[in-house]
Structure formats: structure tokens, C-alpha cells
């Protein structure tokens, strides 16, 4: 009965399409037909998600549309969540673990990689433990609380012979990649200045992002890292110095070690400078601006879940909106299974550079001095 119904629906859809096809211009017809993807029969990355909170859920939902990656397992400390995910995503019992048992992954051939979406402070130990199971690791940003932890994670993954990737979804976003292409092609000329503004009102004071022990900091760790990373891929260089200033207007809400607002400046070897803002008390801040001797690029929103919008001196950016996490996981499957090299790196070394800059920003804000960077 279901088969008949499905067949009837297909025939009705086909008939409707046949009516409209003659009225499409040839170019429109070609683009529509090109959207019909060929069946995929290549390798598939089988992923277990560790941390079944809001972002883990977002990744899981996005992976429903992946061809090269699929959700195969879960790791959680909440049995009820595991049961819910088992039912929702058809995950077998043998692929479900808690934080005490996930070392048993080493004996599970059905899982290739673990995506860690837990609070920042847990990343270090969890990445190292997963690496020891022989599984590849994808870690949400920031990769760790500081550069020392990040280096230890990289070393552990190298020792175990597994790859470590960081969830830099913007590295695969079409409009972002177009700006990078234009910069590489010299269409902006010599890059002179970058501005990155990242901020929102954080809300619930009891959430883990405002807990120093779990978050490792405040707005800089959570969203300021987008401006840090964005400055690097927009300018195409790594900074050599940093200065920074911290402002705290609500000390009762943002306790010691949890930054509310930080402004920071970066200097680059080619002469470009960056001026950036990271805050947990102002909305409507999600903007990148780049200018060079020949042109400019502006993106607003620049790093949100989308749609990303942008324009350059040549006009509006018209690349299609994509679900960031879907594209990210497709691309990461190619990186992990086929050794593909992305346009912008997403490996542990990339994450470590951002951590070194974060360390330097905190130091500069504390001392009031310019801090030299050696990345």
C-alpha cells in the first residue's frame, strides 16, 4: 500500500514537472537538471557525537542531508537523551556510550570519528581519550582553554595516528570562500584593514558559557574567536602582534575571569591591521569588513548560521545559502577519508594558532602592553 502511494505521488510530481519544463529557458532547465545528484557510492564517514546539547543536535540534524557522513553513535552522560537520540536517529544500542565507557569505541568498527560538542573545558581530556581509541576527532571551537592544552591534544592525536579537526564551519561557507578567492586573485589589491564585530546579549546568567571553569573565559572564547579566525582567513596572513582592552560594565553578571567585552587589535606582517570587538552585552554585532587598495568586502551577517549576506566593490555576493554544518561534515568526510586539502585549514594546528592569539589577547588586556605573536 505504501509502495503504491509513493509511486502515485512520484507520478503526480513528474506530471506536474513535465507541464512546467517546456516553459523553462534552456539555461534554467540545465541548472535544474544539474541539481539532481548522481547516487553516491563512495566512502561514508560514520560519526559519533559526544555531547547531545543544542549544538550537537544542530550537527545531527544537518547530517541528515549528508551523503558522505552519517550519524552512527552517541556519547552522553544523560541516559534519557541517549534513548531519545536512539529513537530519533535509529542508532543501535551497541553504538551508545557514556563518559565512563566511551574508551570502548576502540572495539567498535562501526564508528570512524567522534565529534566533540561539549563545553570548552572538557575538550582537552576528551580529545585525548578519543584519540587513544584510534578514532579520528572533530572538536568544536575553541579547541581548548589555552595553547598549552591545544598542543597536548595535537601531540596525542599524532601519537595515536589519528586526525584532529576543529569545527570551523565558516571555512566551507560559499560567500566566505568567494571573498577569499577574490583576495587571493588580487581583486582587493594590497589588504590594508579588517574589522570584525562579534556580539550578542548572552541572557541566562546560569549557563555554562558564563562559568569560568567550563568556558575558560567569556565572550572572546565563544564568539570573539570568529573575529580572530576571520581576520586571518580574510587577510590571508597570521598576525605578529596584538593589543587589547577589556571593559566590564556588569561585574555581578560577568565574574572574575569571564570577559564581558574585549576590543583587540592585530598587526600583520604585510602591514594590514585589524580592529575587533567581542561582547556578551550588545546585539546586532555580526559583521566583517575588509578593505584594500583596489576594493572592499563587507559581510553582515558574517558568521551566524545564515543566511550569510555580503557585498564587495563588484556588487552583492550571490552564492547560495547552505546549511553550514551539512557542508562542513561533507567536506570533513573528504578530509578524513580521502585526504582532501580544504581551501582554509581546519586541523589542530589551525585551532592552536587561534588559541595562541587568545592567550595573547588576555595577556595584553591584563598588562596593557603590546604582545608579540609567534605562530
Q: Which of 97, 226, 280, 362 is catalytic?
A: 226
Helices 324-338 and 54-63 cross at an angle (nearest 10°) of: 70
DSSP state of 319: P
How would you write 155-218 as a 3-class SS string? HHHHHHCCCEEECCHHHHCHHHHHHHHHHHCCCCCCEEEEEEEEECCCCCCCCHHHCHHHHCCC
- 265, 274 Cβ separation under 8 angstroms: yes
DSSP state of 347: B
Q: Which of 68, 135, 141, 353 is catalytic?
A: 141
- 237, 270 Cβ separation under 8 angstroms: yes
Q: Where are the alpha helices (DSSP H) in the chain?
A: 2-20, 26-34, 54-63, 79-89, 123-132, 147-160, 174-184, 212-215, 219, 225-235, 324-338, 348-367
Active site residue 226: yes
Q: How far apart are CA 22 and CA 196, in angstroms?
A: 48
Contacts of 87 by beta carbon, 8 Å cutoff, 6+ apart:
none
Q: Which H or E run includes 351?
A: helix 348-367
- 346, 168 Cβ separation under 8 angstroms: yes
Q: How far apart are CA 373 and CA 351, in angstroms?
A: 15
**Angstrom distances, CA of residue 114 to CA of 2, 88, 100, 124, 351:** 36, 19, 15, 14, 17
Helix (H, G, I), strand (E, B) or coil at 349: helix
Angle, CA 240 vertex, CA 238 and CA 241 arms, to 5°: 130
Q: Which residues are catalytic?
A: 141, 226
Amino acid at each position: 500500500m505504501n509502495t503504491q502511494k509513493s509511486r502515485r505521488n512520484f507520478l503526480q510530481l513528474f506530471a506536474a514537472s513535465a507541464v512546467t519544463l517546456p516553459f523553462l529557458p534552456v539555461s534554467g532547465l540545465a541548472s535544474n537538471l544539474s541539481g539532481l545528484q548522481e547516487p553516491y557510492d563512495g566512502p561514508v564517514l560514520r560519526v559519533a557525537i559526544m555531547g547531545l546539547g543544542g549544538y550537537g543536535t544542530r550537527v545531527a540534524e544537518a547530517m541528515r542531508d549528508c551523503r558522505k557522513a552519517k550519524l552512527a553513535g552517541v556519547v552522553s552522560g544523560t541516559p534519557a537523551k541517549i534513548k531519545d537520540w536512539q529513537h530519533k536517529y535509529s542508532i543501535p544500542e551497541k553504538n551508545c556510550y557514556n563518559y565512563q565507557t566511551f574508551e570502548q569505541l576502540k572495539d567498535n568498527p562501526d564508528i570512524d570519528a567522534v565529534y566533540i560538542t561539549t563545553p570548552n573545558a572538557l575538550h582537552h581530556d576528551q580529545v585525548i581519550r578519543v584519540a587513544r581509541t584510534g578514532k579520528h576527532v572533530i572538536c568544536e571551537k575553541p579547541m581548548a582553554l589555552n595553547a598549552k592544552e591545544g598542543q597536548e591534544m595535537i601531540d596525542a592525536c599524532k601519537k595515536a595516528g589519528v586526525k584532529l579537526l576543529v569545527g570551523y564551519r565558516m571555512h566551507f561557507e560559499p560567500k566566505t570562500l568567494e571573498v577569499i578567492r577574490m583576495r587571493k586573485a588580487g581583486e582587493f589589491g594590497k589588504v590594508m584593514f579588517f574589522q570584525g564585530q562579534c556580539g550578542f546579549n548572552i541572557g541566562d546568567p546560569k549557563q555554562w558559557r558564563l562559568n569560568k571553569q567550563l568556558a575558560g573565559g567569556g565572550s572572546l572564547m565563544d564568539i570573539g574567536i570568529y573575529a580572530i579566525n576571520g581576520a586571518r582567513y580574510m587577510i590571508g596572513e597570521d598576525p605578529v602582534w596584538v593589543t587589547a582592552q577589556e571593559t566590564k560594565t556588569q561585574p555581578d553578571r560577568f565574574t572574575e575571569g569571564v570577559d564581558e567585552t574585549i576590543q583587540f587589535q592585530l598587526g600583520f606582517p604585510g602591514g594590514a591591521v585589524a580592529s575587533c570587538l567581542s561582547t556578551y552585552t550588545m546585539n546586532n554585532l555580526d559583521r566583517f569588513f575588509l578593505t584594500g587598495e583596489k576594493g572592499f568586502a563587507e559581510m553582515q551577517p558574517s558568521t551566524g548560521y545564515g543566511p550569510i549576506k555580503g557585498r564587495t566593490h563588484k556588487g552583492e555576493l550571490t552564492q547560495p545559502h547552505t546549511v553550514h554544518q551539512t557542508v562542513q561534515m561533507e567536506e570533513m568526510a573528504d578530509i578524513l577519508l580521502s585526504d582532501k586539502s580544504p581551501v582554509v585549514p581546519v586541523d589542530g594546528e589551525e585551532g592552536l594558532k587561534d588559541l595562541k592569539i587568545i592567550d595573547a589577547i588576555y595577556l595584553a588586556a591584563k598588562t596593557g602592553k603590546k604582545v608579540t605573536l609567534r605562530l
